[in-house]
Amino acid sequence: MVMRKLNTSPISGMQEFLPVDQVAFDNMKNIISEVYHSHGFQSIETPTIDRSEILFAKAGGDTEKQIYKVFKTAETADDADQALRFDHTVPLARYVVEHENDLAFPFRVTQIGRNFRGERAQKGRFREFYQCDIDVIGRNTLPIAYDAEVISTYFSTLQELKLKDPIIRINNRKILSGFLEALALESLSEEIFGIIDHAEKVPPETTKEALEDLKIGDDAVEKVLAFIDIHGNSSEVEKKLKDFDFGNETFETGVEELLFVLRLLEKQGMKDKTIADMMIIRGLDYYTGTVFEAYLKDYKYIGAIGGGGRYENLAGHFTDQSFPGVGGSIGLSRLFYVLNENNLINKSEHKPIDFAILPLSENEFEYSFELSEKLRKKGKKVDIIFSGKKLGDKFNHAGKIAKFAVVVGEDEVKTKKLIKKNLETGEKTPLDA
Amino acid sequence: MVMRKLNTSPISGMQEFLPVDQVAFDNMKNIISEVYHSHGFQSIETPTIDRSEILFAKAGGDTEKQIYKVFKTAETADDADQALRFDHTVPLARYVVEHENDLAFPFRVTQIGRNFRGERAQKGRFREFYQCDIDVIGRNTLPIAYDAEVISTYFSTLQELKLKDPIIRINNRKILSGFLEALALESLSEEIFGIIDHAEKVPPETTKEALEDLKIGDDAVEKVLAFIDIHGNSSEVEKKLKDFDFGNETFETGVEELLFVLRLLEKQGMKDKTIADMMIIRGLDYYTGTVFEAYLKDYKYIGAIGGGGRYENLAGHFTDQSFPGVGGSIGLSRLFYVLNENNLINKSEHKPIDFAILPLSENEFEYSFELSEKLRKKGKKVDIIFSGKKLGDKFNHAGKIAKFAVVVGEDEVKTKKLIKKNLETGEKTPLDA
């Protein structure tokens, strides 16, 4: 009996795929990368390990507790206190400050890679996870048109991933801030933002009660509830929002920005796909203007599959120079997990191998090489199974990894007549090679 | 004056690129991945973080000192002692043992990713570096034809990378072991292997002196020197090696395996590209049969750009089950660094962006969207520069990142007649879109 000497499972909270899942995952990653590039976002890759003082500069609360610190087994004098990056934003801020003079602003940038958070392990949450980010970084200023461009890129990506009915819900934090100013509720903004942020996860009465608990008066409660119910296309929300007629500057700027972004998107054929929604907050994060979240219409219960927004100052912790930005992120590890759990990944489409060549003996190796080279030149992925297994075992092997099998025996070498067998359907057809 | 508040350079020993270098680096990574896949190697990705007991099981000496250990800022009870992987081989061994029943053997596998070694920082050596590995893993046995397949894949990869005149030098460790057995020098094999391994980096007299210092007799010294000078194609080395006529079984098995591998490669058109060479050892590593190293003929002084070989037992530290394998690795971070230092990277070929669209005002945004969508559908990477900069500044921006610029003003929207400007040559030609 074969004995294992050590526990060989991956550490809890790590995602590790078999090749058939890996190929489906990589396919999604490649599509995301291609769409991002097609929209002019330039790839960069920051080191996984960075100085703790850089990584901890922005982090706080839970994030700070989740950061992995690293140290070498044998320390050398030149090693600063170091840690693993927990998102792409902090290293991007460092990168932009460091390379400012070599970059062209507005800088469209994409980062696709693994980040690390030592969260308590739970279903669909990973400690090492892929994030696929886009950002546009300006120097001093950044036109609002880039907010639309980021959302448009994000939407195209979800479409190219063949996700069914993606919807992007958009808001502007200035509208919310101005709304609270107009009602003289700024002092409670953190509490009210929190209540709105959770409104979709709880019954309507819970939201109402939470607002009532703030003792802001029935009229204000009704106004907030009516406000967060506002959603629709640009014309629909324009009317409802302008009805408030607060004369509040922040509110009006927010409405103007939101409508500008929405209309740019609608002009690009995204009407009914990009929808204004006053319930979108994006947590208590550092967003200052546009915010957006993506959902799948038929799978709204799985929650937002990602989002992003506008921030006024990317690198305030590192420099006096102002770098406003707008960005979005797809949490690929979690998205893949959720799609897989819901059987929304078509795996038969993405076999690791196209053709498995099965030479019957060493005499057919040479011809098998020739044949596989021809198929490779056509862009096919080709495995030659050299092992001394019986033919049945070789077919079994091929069936696990490949779309087609091709037997090469004495006859095939002589006649050059080859048959490819579809390993899913069993169908046999002549192979042109 | 703008002030930096923190040191924003990457940690010493980390490779961080500007977008123009990143696109050239990623291009190489993509080519490697494509060739590996076309040869039937299936992608897997193991976690960056693994249990220390797994990672330290094989490591020893210098490697062990270089391993980065990780710990969370806030520990939770379920966290084992953890570290960052320092190569792809140890996590692969764990993976194969863990998923044995779901894999088809021989298992062709590729891993392309970042590994970590806390080496003292020096030119061209990185602490976080990309390795691009292929391996074929058998269960209990693995036909020798796979040794040729790995080398053939490796060679194709170097060709597709457009490296000038790659040469692969091949040996078989059994020949060396048998040779030392035949001369009754086994007890000194570690010392002699070490001398041979360094022979190319020192003058011939140094090698001779080092051998003489072992007090093995003049005759043995001459035999070793004559032996390590043997190199050439299969027919050339066959004659020279068979002349030894030792009657030693290990030696003869080694010769037979080497000739079998060489001839399979020569049949695939790699004569003069894959060359037997008795000087190739591949360090004192765990290789047991075939070993190979790749060089660039015109840049031999930069040393081996990678290599690999056959090992008898991948996962001996983790299980009693035997998994023989053969593999190869390209150290991409170092290779890119060396090629870049020698001006062998053609960067103008790989601009991050194909087209920069320059709308003159907001009135041209809508048409700019249309135009960019058309270009994207043709697979182009397109940036629209929305910023309010002057046209000259926009051209300046475009010139840093894109191959072509297209101005969109009132006239262009009306006439649909567009001009693309080549940003390298300044040449202007009509754009079909």
A–B interface: beta-carbon pairs under 8 A: 297
Question: How many CA atoms within 13 Å lie on the side-chain side of B215?
Answer: 1
A383: Cβ contacts below 8 Å, ≥ 6 apart? A353, A355, A356, A357, A398, A401, A402, B39, B40, B108
Q: Rounded mean pLDDT of chain B?
A: 92
Q: Which two tokens stand for residue B286?
A: 């765990």
Cα–Cα distance measured from residue A289 to residue A257, given in angstroms and rounded to the nearest whole number: 8
Strand partners, B326: B136, B310
Q: Running DSSP on this structure, what letter comes out for residue B247?
A: -
Distances (CA, A) of A102 to A107, B341, B404, B422: 11, 19, 19, 21
Instruction: Check B268 against A369: CB less than 8 A apart.
Output: yes
Q: Which residues contact A158 (CB under 8 A, 6 or more apart)?
A: A166, A294, A305
Rounded to a whole number, what is the distance in Å from the CA of B220 to chain A's nearest CA?
Answer: 39
- Are residues B294 and B168 in contact, defined by beta-carbon separation less than 8 angstroms? yes
Across the interface, of A94, A127, A379, the residue whose CB is closest to B8 is: A94
pLDDT of res. A4:
77
Query: A14 vs B384: CB contact, 8 Å cut-off?
Result: no
Tell me the C-alpha distance between B418 and B399, whole Å.
18
CA distance B6 to chain A (A): 5
Whole-angstrom distance, CA of residue B422 vs CA of residue B12? 38
Judge whether B403 and B345 are in contact, CB under 8 Å: no
Please say whether the beta carbons of B161 and B32 come within 8 A: yes
Distance CA B288, CA B206 (A): 27
Question: DSSP code of A41?
Answer: P
DSSP one-letter code for A141: B
pTM over 0.90: yes
Q: For B235, what's the count of Cα atoms within 13 Å in the CB-facing half-sphere?
A: 3
Q: What are phi and psi of A57, to 5 degrees?
A: -60, -40
pLDDT of residue A77: 46
pLDDT at position A176, please? 93
User: Would B19-341 and B351-431 be classified into the same CATH topology?
Assistant: no
State how far the alpha carbon of A420 is from the alpha carbons of A404, A428, B25, in Å: 6, 6, 37
Q: Is B77 on the interface with A (CB under 8 A)?
A: no
For B10, name the nearest residue in chain A, comparing CA atoms only. Answer: A50
Contact status, residue B274 vs residue B266, Cβ threshold 8 Å: yes
The predicted structure's pLDDT at residue B77: 46
What's the CA gap between B25 and B403, in Å, rounded? 18
Are A31 and A156 in contact, with CB atoms under 8 Å apart?
no
Q: Are A42 and B352 an interchain contact pair (Cβ–Cβ within 8 Å)?
A: yes
pLDDT tens-digit profile of B87-142? 999 999 999 999 999 999 999 999 999 999 988 778 888 999 999 999 999 999 99
Omega into B359 within 30° of 0, i.e. cis? Answer: no
What single DSSP character describes residue A417? -
Question: Measured between alpha carbons, how far is A172 from A193 in angstroms, rounded to an integer?
Answer: 13
- Using a CB–CB cutoff of 8 Å, tell me whether A376 touches chain B: yes
**Probe site for chain A from B56, B65, B70, B372 (most A CB atoms < 10 A):** B70
Which residue in A410, A356, A349, A411 sits closest to A380, CA to CA? Answer: A356
CA separation, residue A209 to residues A197, A203, A206, A376, B89 (Å): 15, 10, 5, 65, 58
Residues sharing a CB contact under 8 Å with residue B182, sequence separation 6 or more, in sequence order = B244, B246, B247, B248, B251
- The number of helices, as runs of H, and strands, as runs of E, in chain B is 15, 17
Based on its alpha-carbon atoms, the radius of gyration of chain B, rounded to whole angstroms, reads 27
DSSP letter at B11 equals P
pLDDT exceeds cutoff 80 at B318: yes
Q: Percent of chain A beyond pLDDT 90?
A: 78
pLDDT recorded at residue B429: 96
Q: Which residue in the block uniquely carries the two structure tokens 């091949």?
A: B170
CATH code of the domain occupying B351-431:
3.40.50.800
**Given pLDDT bands bounded at 50, 70 and 90, which one contains residue B80?**
low
Count of Cβ atoms closer than 10 Å to residue B5 Cβ:
13
| Strand pairing category for A402-408 and A353-359 | parallel
**B276, B232 in Cβ contact below 8 A?**
yes
| Fold assignment, A351-430 | Rossmann fold (3.40.50)
pLDDT at residue B1, as a whole number: 58
DSSP letter assigned to residue B4 = B
What mean pLDDT is predicted for residues B388-399? Answer: 90
- Rounded CA gap, B268 and A384, in Å? 14
Diameter of chain B measured on Cα atoms: 91
- Partners of residue B353 in chain A, C-beta under 8 Å: 40, 42
C-alpha atoms less than 13 angstroms from C-alpha of A23 in its C-beta half-sphere: 21
Contact B157, B35 (CB under 8 A): yes
Q: Is the dihedral of CA A23, A24, A29, A30 positive or negative?
A: positive
Are the CB atoms for A178 and A250 separated by under 8 Å?
yes
Per the listing, tokens 């048409």 go with: B367
Q: Which residues, other chains included, contact A401 with Cβ-Cβ below 8 Å and sequence gap of 6+?
A: A19, A20, A351, A352, A353, A356, A383, B42, B104
- In B52-187 the beta strands, taken as DSSP E runs, fall at 68-72, 82-84, 107-116, 128-137, 166-172
Residues A170/A280, Cβ–Cβ less than 8 Å: yes
Identify which of B269, B325, B300 has the alpha carbon closest to the alpha carbon of residue B169. B300
Q: Which residues contact residue A365 at a Cβ distance below 8 angstroms, ignoring those fewer than 6 apart?
A: A359, A384, A386, B145, B264
Residue A371 contacts residue A357 (beta carbons within 8 Å): yes
Classify burial at A187, counting beta carbons within 10 Å of its beta carbon; exposed 0-12, middle 13-18, buried 19 or more. exposed
Interface test with B, best of A9, A16, A332 (most B CBs within 10 A): A16
At A24 the three-state DSSP class reads: helix
pLDDT digits (tens, 9 = 90+) for A164-220: 899 999 999 999 999 999 999 999 988 999 999 889 889 999 999 999 999 999 999
- Give the residue from chain A lying closest to B40, CA to CA: A383
Residue with tokens 């990653």: A29
**A-proximal residues of B, 84-143, CB under 8 Å:** 84, 94-95, 97-99, 102-106, 108-109, 114, 116, 118, 120-121, 127-128, 138, 141-143
Judging contacts by C-beta atoms under 8 Å, the chain B residues touching residue A46 are 10, 16
The pLDDT tens digits for B135-188 are 999 999 999 999 999 999 999 999 999 998 999 999 999 999 999 999 999 999
Report the CATH number of the B19-341 domain: 3.30.930.10
**Which distant-in-sequence residues (6+ apart) come within 8 Å of B196 by Cβ?**
B176, B224, B228, B279, B281
Mutation for testing the A interface, residue in B38, B88, B102, B152 having most A CBs under 10 Å: B38
A 10 A CB-CB count for B223 gives 18
**Which residues in chain B (138-167) have CB-CB distances under 8 A to chain A?**
138, 141-143, 145-146, 149, 152
Share of chain B above pLDDT 90, in %: 78
Nearest CA in chain A to B23: A43
pLDDT tens-digit series, residues B197-239: 889 889 999 999 999 999 999 999 999 999 999 999 999 999 9
Q: Which pLDDT score, from 0 to 100, does residue B389 have?
A: 78
Task: Give the start-to-end residue ranges of the domains of chain B.
Answer: 19-341, 351-431
Residue B269 is given by DSSP the state I
As a whole number of angstroms, the distance between CA B96 and CA A353 comes to 19
Interchain contact, B10 vs A46, CB within 8 Å: yes
Of B39, B53, B138, the CB nearest to A382: B39
B194 touches chain A (CB under 8 A): no
Segments of chain A with pLDDT less than 70: 1-2, 59-61, 73-80, 284-285
| Cβ-contact A5, B319 below 8 angstroms | yes
